[in-house]
Amino acid sequence: MTDLIRLPRRFFIDHSERDLPTPAIVKQTKAHVWIRKDDPDLEELHEDAEYYAYYGDDTIGLMMSARATCRAIEQAKKLQEGTWLMEQDKRAATLKQAINQ
């Protein structure tokens, strides 16, 4: 389940009830949903969460859920980018060793 993102259920359900493009749920509990990192509708969800986190509804619970959604998505993106960079560093080190031999 390393290719999944755990999100708060409250904002996710609100987003989907407004008939906006919504990532498919892979797993869910009472408090969270898990979606795939590579879902094509992830960016739409992230943009909507950013808006609601700071400018949206006056409901504090929804705003906090939107902020948590943003943090979870941003964390997943950073980890994905970090993994890619680590792979590039390993390839560069292997190439450097091959050249020096």
Write the pLDDT tens digit of every residue in 10-19: 999 999 999 9
If DSSP codes are grouped into helix, strand and coil, which group holds residue 38? coil
CB 36 within 8 A of CB 4: yes
Tell me which residue has tokens 């190439």.
95
pLDDT of residue 55: 87
* Distance from chain centroid for Cα 88: 22
What mean pLDDT value characterizes the chain? 86
**Dihedral sign from CA coordinates of 79, 85, 88, 92:** negative
How many domains would you assign to the chain? 1
Mean local confidence (pLDDT), 41-64:
91
Using pLDDT thresholds of 50, 70 and 90, give the confidence band for residue 44: very high
CB 56 within 8 A of CB 28: no
Q: Which domain covers residue 72, as residue numbers?
A: 4-100
Mean local confidence (pLDDT), 53-69:
89
Q: Would you say residue 97 has pLDDT above 80?
A: no
